Amino acid sequence: MDSNKILLTSMLAATTAFAATAYQNQVGFLTNGPKHIAVTDAAGKEIIFKDADGKTALTVTAPDAILWESANEEASLVNFSELTTPGTYQAYLDGEAIGHPIIISDNALEGVTKASLKFFYFQRSSTELTEEFAGKYARAMGTPDTAVMYHPSTGRTDLTSTFNGAKGWYDAGDYGKYIVNSGISTYTLLQLYQHNKDYFDTLDLNIPESKNDVPDILDEIRWNIEWMLTMQDSDGGVFHKLTTKQFAGMVLPEKVVKQRYAIGKSVTATWDFVGVTALAADIYKPFDPEFAAKCAQAAADARWWARENPRAYYSQPSDVGTGTYSDGNAIDEKIWGSAELFRITGKPEFLEEVLRNPISKQRSKLPAWQTVYALAAFTIATNPHLFGEAEVDSSRNLIFTLADSYIDMPDNGYGLAIDNADFYWGSNSAVANKGMVLIHAYILSKEKKYLDAAQGLLDYLLGRNPLDISYLTGWGVNQVLHPHHRPSEGDTVEMPVPGMLVGGPNSSANDCAKSHIDADAPAKSYYDNSCSYATNEVAINWNAPFAYLAGSLQAIAATGKVYEVGASKPEPYDLDAIAVTKPGAKIRAAGNRLIFKNGAVQVEKTLRDGSIRYFNLKGAISKGNR
Ligand code: 9MR
Ligand code: 9MR
């Protein structure tokens, strides 16, 4: 270290020894919600909150400072929840302003809710974004995806033909469209709607469909589901992804002219597809029964393929370099897809699939693109009237095991249910997904502690973190400016597209953020530079739980209502009536064979719909069959 540096370092040390630093949500606090600010070097001192006229509105003595290991910093968590008059405030310590303006409002989270949903519009493939809806982020259509070719990895042999794979959302900073990641993202947004209908029925997102009679959030989600439906092959299986062979440069989508392919056909993509289309079949029914029935049929067809190809895991072909989303365990996807199918049909065979793989405590895993047990648990626990007691108990158990593990984390000065283990690629989505778990725990128990912890996690994403940064583009005093996002890099607008949650600190980032890794403070291992996809990319599966978290908190506050467990009573789909011909089942349909079952020789008869019945040799249907 040269002498100048030493001088600078000691000067900085001297200033930080006296000056307090405050970290807070930079966007806004709900009027009656919990309000906290993390302040360093403040223990025992008075923090004064002044209103816009400079009048003292509240004085709070800062409690003892506690270490937050992930920040490698001690801070006092100052609670100013008593401030419940909407307005703008400023905190002071020793006569100096600390932190940022504090905004308190009944609609404090409406702006970020809308923005995080509008992101999905900005990610639309196969359409131009017009100024009316995109403002200065208007752009030409790129990747129409109306003539997509089959990569040999799909198993197709007509490799010179094309299909229409239009619509859908770009996954992230790249222009790929990936079914697996669409699975959890689309489910999360559908649930945001389902759990907060009163609020979202009228929320205007200013998208091309805003004037129709369908809630905007559902119009936006449908854009992606329509693409997902195009990815189903004639045998029911679902292609894994739709991308160019290699990533494009950091350009606008109109510059992406290389051929796009359907690549792979996987069991994980197919089960994820089942989960989404089955849920959509219920949610879209009141708005468009025909579309809803199409989704139900697609789910049923996909399920056949997934069941018969349980080990069709995705493996990246050697000539392909785009995202992999590969996952060698499809049990969680199968449980989830089967649970959704059972919910909309009441058919016992789908429940059996859930029961064969019980949701146990060991399966208490945070939702993520590759781990979706929790999605099944969310659906089952909020529909106790449709599922059996055992599944409901184990699903509740999964949710509360996770939620309580957050609540029971040792206190830290930032007041956050986040620890060192959370700082991997997409850490901000881990934070948001914890929020989604906590909101489910609140829905199921109505215990305020869960909702308050969820608010804390949102505060972290919006600025209560050791970098004093809001990780949502376009929002906050110190906001992310350089996300890894091709449209934002490729256009001429200075600011990035707003409403995008970046991946966040990643203690094992292996890109240009490597030199920004702080081994002692994983929560600081972040680089606001578009070169860093491992800390600063955006993605649909990160924005979706953010929208769920902010949107649910805002909706619950605005409506004074919490989703009523057991409220949804889907009119069961009669899958027999919508002709569940097992795709490609022609040969099997004729099949009768003799097998040894239940201690006797029986006839196994495969019916035209692909279902199987057993008969004893006298022709009577044997017991316990389906
Ligand atoms: O832009 C790509 C991003 O979406 C991926 O998450 C990331 C990791 O697979 O890769 C990014 O693309 C980079 C590529 O891997 C290597 N060359 C530079 C590309 C743009 O930064
Ligand atoms: O979110 C994915 C993360 O869990 C993985 O560790 C990472 C590397 O494989 O890939 C992330 O997903 C990227 C995808 O492969 C391509 N589009 C961008 C996604 C976000 O970075």
The 10s digit of each residue's pLDDT in 563-612 is: 999 888 888 998 766 645 555 554 333 345 555 655 555 555 555 545 55
CB contact at 8 A, 274 and 303:
yes
| The pair of three-digit structure tokens given for residue 63, joined into one six-digit string | 């409690």
- Report how far residue 544's alpha carbon sits from residue 220's, in angstroms, rounded to the nearest whole number: 12
122-126, 353-357, 499-503, 580-584: which has the minimum mean pLDDT? 580-584
Of all ligands present, the nearest one to the C-alpha of 251 is 1
Of 332, 422, 459, 528, catalytic: 528
The count of other CB atoms within 10 Å of the CB of residue 63 is 16
Does ligand 1 lie within 6 Å of residue 172's CB atom?
yes
- Quote the ligand 1 centre to 438 CA distance (angstroms): 32
3-state secondary structure 157-196: CCCCCEECCCCCECCECCCCEEHHHHHHHHHHHHHHHHHC
For residue 173, which atom of ligand 1 is closest to its CA?
4
- Quote the ligand 1 centre to 142 CA distance (angstroms): 19
β-strands 239-243, 261-265 pairing: antiparallel
Does ligand 1 lie within 6 Å of residue 475's CB atom?
no
Determine the residue type at 278: A
Q: Which residues pair with 91 in a beta bridge?
A: 49, 98
Q: What percent of the chain shows pLDDT beyond 90?
A: 86
174 is catalytic: yes
CA atoms within 13 A on the CB side of 411: 9
pLDDT at 350: 93
- Report how far residue 538's alpha carbon sits from residue 558's, in angstroms, rounded to the nearest whole number: 28
pLDDT at 207: 98
Split at pLDDT 50, 70, 90, the class of 74 is very high
| The pair of three-digit structure tokens given for residue 169, joined into one six-digit string | 């959302």
Looking at ligand 2, which residue's alpha carbon is closest to its atom 4? Answer: 425
Q: Which residues contact 22 (CB under 8 A, 6 or more apart)?
A: 37, 38, 39, 40, 91, 93, 98, 99, 100
User: What does pLDDT average to over the chain?
Assistant: 92
Looking at ligand 1, which residue's alpha carbon is closest to its atom 4? Answer: 174
Quick one: 51 exposed, middle or buried, by C-beta within 10 A (0-12, 13-18, 19+)? middle
- Report how far residue 9's alpha carbon sits from residue 207's, in angstroms, rounded to the nearest whole number: 51
To test the ligand 1 pocket, which listed residue (123, 533, 537, 540) has its Cβ within 8 A of the most ligand atoms? 533
Looking at ligand 2, which residue's alpha carbon is closest to its atom 14? Answer: 323
484 is catalytic: yes
- H helical segments located in 309-388: 331-345, 348-356, 373-381
pLDDT at 200: 98
Of 73, 171, 174, 459, catalytic: 174
The pLDDT tens digits of the residues spanning 438-496 come to 999 999 999 999 999 999 999 999 999 999 999 999 999 999 999 999 999 999 999 99
Does ligand 2 lie within 6 Å of residue 248's CB atom?
no
Does ligand 2 lie within 6 Å of residue 142's CB atom?
no
Q: Which residues pair with 66 in a beta bridge?
A: 75
| The pair of three-digit structure tokens given for residue 138, joined into one six-digit string | 């208007």
pLDDT at 602: 57
Of all ligands present, the nearest one to the C-alpha of 538 is 2
The pLDDT tens digits of the residues spanning 229-279 come to 999 999 999 999 999 999 999 999 999 999 999 999 999 999 999 999 999
Does ligand 2 lie within 6 Å of residue 174's CB atom?
yes
- Quote the ligand 2 centre to 323 CA distance (angstroms): 6
The pLDDT tens digits of the residues spanning 383-397 come to 999 999 999 999 999
293-307, 339-353, 356-370, 612-626: which has the minimum mean pLDDT? 612-626
pTM exceeds 0.85: yes
Q: Which residues contact 586 (CB under 8 A, 6 or more apart)?
A: none
Average pLDDT over residues 194-206: 98
- Domains along the sequence of the chain with CATH: 3-105 (2.60.40.10), 110-559 (1.50.10.10), 587-626 (no CATH)
Does ligand 1 lie within 6 Å of residue 174's CB atom?
yes
The pLDDT tens digits of the residues spanning 389-425 come to 999 999 999 999 999 999 999 999 999 999 999 999 9
| Cα Rg of the chain (Å, integer) | 26
Looking at ligand 2, which residue's alpha carbon is closest to its atom 19? Answer: 172
pLDDT at 615: 57
pLDDT at 586: 42
Q: Is the pLDDT of residue 1 over 50?
A: no
CB contact at 8 A, 475 and 543:
no
- Quote the ligand 2 centre to 481 CA distance (angstroms): 20
Q: Give the chain's end-to-end CA distance (angstroms, integer).
A: 76
Q: Which residues contact 160 (CB under 8 A, 6 or more apart)?
A: 149
Q: Which residues pair with 75 in a beta bridge?
A: 66
Split at pLDDT 50, 70, 90, the class of 504 is very high
- Write the DSSP symbol of residue 463: T
CB contact at 8 A, 252 and 491:
yes
| The pair of three-digit structure tokens given for residue 194, joined into one six-digit string | 């389902």
The pLDDT tens digits of the residues spanning 34-56 come to 999 999 999 999 999 999 999 99
- Report how far residue 486's alpha carbon sits from residue 491's, in angstroms, rounded to the nearest whole number: 8
Does ligand 2 lie within 6 Å of residue 323's CB atom?
yes
Would you call 552 helix, strand, or coil by DSSP? helix
Does ligand 2 lie within 6 Å of residue 533's CB atom?
yes
Does ligand 1 lie within 6 Å of residue 111's CB atom?
no
